[in-house]
Amino acid sequence: MKIAVVGATGLVGNVMLKSLLERSFPFKEVYAVASEKSVGKKIHFNNTHLEVIGMKQAISLKPDIAIFSAGGETSKQWAPEFAKVGTLVIDNSSAWRMEENIKLVVPEVNAHVLSKDDKIIANPNCSTIQLVIALAPLHKKYTIRRVVVSTYQSVTGSGVKAVEQLRNERAGIQGKMAYPHQIDLNCIPHGGNFEDNGYTTEETKLVNETRKILGDQSINVTATVVRIPVFGGHSEAVNVEFENDFDLNEVKKILSEFPGITIQDDPKNNVYPMPKDAHGKDDVFVGRIRRDFSQPNSLNFWVVSDNLRKGAATNAIQIAEYLVKEKLVLNS
């Protein structure tokens, strides 16, 4: 198969290339695609170097799958152009996620919605992916009424400029600012852009994407997004209210048996998920699992995952793997 990674020079694009190798994806050729200013650059890949090519050249090569991580505007402009030549697009931006006719997919949760008719498939927001992985098996068993989630998100979710800001601040260097405030030794309750209702675009994504992936618009979701000075991954404090009561041991068993989840829940020995331990891994880590005694049928837990891997690159590659396995892509 011919695979194009669009946005190959970015943080997520780089991890996508690594993931293709790590997961032994059945590619024949891989094209590194980026904006015109990056054309001609060399990217190390599979003991060789890929020369970065532009969009038009990539389209002319008619890849079987194009995996995008190049921003919403780029995706809106170019994803349909790839689709016109028969390329199946998996897009990591927010451009297509809430389009009614576009599937929004976390393979462990809802890969079954995919079909041969899909030309563009949306990869969810990084914080949504780890959340729905934990929610999906519990919703199936107990039926979720309401979710309250507060995120503690890595600077890597804001791109290279944010990583550089944190590194500069720790080194005492005055540099370009990705955030409106210092991020080192600080927490910023601001992810995305503020909307008229007081919520941010990142918070709204969590609400809308969770409902769409779980296939249930009746679930009430509210979110607060916070940026924190870490590199390793996103963390989330989650409170869930169910229609039905639950047994705590059964909850832990359900979560431990769900694909992609690793339980780290031994507080007596200080075992719980942390971003430094999730860094570089593909699983979603769940811990601090406990009953909420303030209201009936309610549960608290803590979820951590590497936002560049399962929260972006790995999830996109897993979608591609499913398409190949189920013969939903042309050359599979």
Which of 206, 250, 242 is CA-nearest to residue 98?
206
Active site residues: 126, 234
Which amino acid type is present at position 66?
A: A
Sign of CA dihedral 271, 224, 206, 75: negative
pLDDT of residue 262: 98
Q: What is the pLDDT of residues 212-251, one digit of tens each?
A: 999 999 999 999 999 999 998 999 999 999 999 999 999 9
The CA-based dihedral angle spanning residues 298, 303, 307, 310, taken in that order and rounded to the nearest 10 degrees: -90
* 3-state class (DSSP) for residue 3: strand
pLDDT of residue 4: 98
Using CA atoms, how far apart are residues 62 and 229, in angstroms rounded to an integer? 41
pLDDT of residue 332: 46
Task: For the chain, count helices (H), then strands (E).
Answer: 10, 14
* Structural domains of the chain sorted by starting position, each given as residue range(s) with its CATH number in brackets: 2-124+312-325 (3.40.50.720), 127-306 (3.30.360.10)
Residues with pLDDT less than 50, the chain: 332
CA angle (296 as vertex; 290, 301 as ends), nearest 5: 25
